Amino acid sequence: MADMFELGEQDYSDEDAAWDHFVTAHPHGSILQTTPWARLKSRFGWVPKRVWAKKDGRIVAGAQMLIRSAALGTARMGYVPHGPLLNWDDPEQVEVLFNQINLAAYQSRAGFVKVEPLLWQDAFGQARWQTLCESLSHGRVQVHNPTDTIQPPRTVVIDLRPSEDDILAAMKQKTRYNIRLAQRKEVTVRRGTRADIATFNLLMLT
């Protein structure tokens, strides 16, 4: 099965147009799988590594994995944010790429790898995920389907065309209560500018 694919692995390189083109063109591509993100994370103790599968010289599946020591330096962990990128309806492609991820994790001495593909936001179905995890588990390699995530699992989109009263009426009672409580406490919301980045960063760190 792997003979159908040209498999590859490399450490992060500062510029990789071919990889970034693959990420940008993929239906579930994300900035968290791009070279600029790897460049940023490499400044904070993460070691980016990429694995891929090619067909006819073209990348068809891949993952950018971030590796670092876990708490107290007891073990290394691998993390694939918003990835891997592949065709989840192609069982061979799924198995081949996950084998590549497992091999890269083993060579990097990572005790475990957490993957969080953007596909989880779609109607893939928990039962299907569980079946997939079971099919990928073998020997010492065990794949689990946890419910906790590092990246936000969903995005709330609000239609701003109705009146403010209509928007509030469509919300849950508790949500309306919290909004009005914030108003009574004189909490204000405004559009941020570049001048607010330092303040926002401080909030994220506290």
Q: Identify the CATH number of the domain defined by range 2-136.
A: 3.40.630.30
Mean pLDDT of 122-128: 67
Average per-residue pLDDT for the chain:
85
Q: Which residue has the tokens 């004189």?
A: 186
Give me the half-sphere count of Cα atoms (radius 13 Å) on the Cβ side of residue 132. 18
What pTM, to 2 d.p., does this model score?
Answer: 0.73
120 or 100, greater pLDDT? 100
Q: CA 29 to CA 9: how far, in whole Å? A: 19
Q: CA 78 to CA 36: how far, in whole Å? A: 18
Least confident span in 52-66, 100-114, 115-129: 115-129
Who's near 41: CB < 8 A, 6+ residues apart? 48, 66
> Would you give the DSSP letter of residue 139?
T
CA 55 to chain centre: 24
Q: Where are the domains of the chain?
A: 2-136, 164-205
Q: Which amino acid is at 14?
A: D
